[in-house]
Amino acid sequence: MTPGCVYLVGAGPGDPGLITVKGLTLLRGADVVIYDRLVSRELLDEVAPDAIRINAGKVAGCHAIDQNQINTLLVQHARRGRAVVRLKCGDPFVFGRGGEEAEMLAAAGIPFEVVPGVSAATAAPARAAIPLTHRRLSSSFAVVTGHECAKGRPGIDWSRLATAVDTLVILMAARTLPRIARELIAHGRPSDTPVAVTRLHAMGAVTITTTLGAVSRGIDLAPPVAVVVGEVVRLRESLGLERASAVHAVT
The separation between CA 247 and the C-alpha centre of its own chain, rounded to angstroms, equals: 21
Q: Find the Cα–Cα–Cα–Cα dihedral 41, 45, 48, 52, rounded to 10°.
A: 20
Residue 75: C-alpha distances to residues 11, 86, 139, 140 (Å): 21, 11, 42, 39
Instruction: Say which of 31, 50, 58, 220 is annotated catalytic.
Output: 58
Using alpha carbons, select from 133, 88, 118 the residue that is nearest to residue 200: 118
What is the torsional sign of CA 187, 190, 193, 195? positive
58 catalytic residue (yes or no): yes
Residue 249 β-bridge partners: 209
Q: Which residues, in sequence order, are CB contacts of 144 under 8 Å at separation 6+?
A: 156, 161, 168, 169, 170, 171
What is the torsional sign of CA 79, 9, 19, 53? positive
Instruction: Say which of 15, 88, 104, 172 is annotated catalytic.
Output: 172
CA distance 121 to 170: 8
Q: Find the Cα–Cα–Cα–Cα dihedral 88, 94, 95, 100, rounded to 10°.
A: 80
C-beta atoms surrounding 221 within 10 Å: 17
CA distance 183 to 156: 11
Q: What is the DSSP letter of 185?
A: H
Instruction: Say which of 36, 91, 104, 166 is annotated catalytic.
Output: 36
36 catalytic residue (yes or no): yes
Q: Annotated active-site positions, please?
A: 36, 58, 172
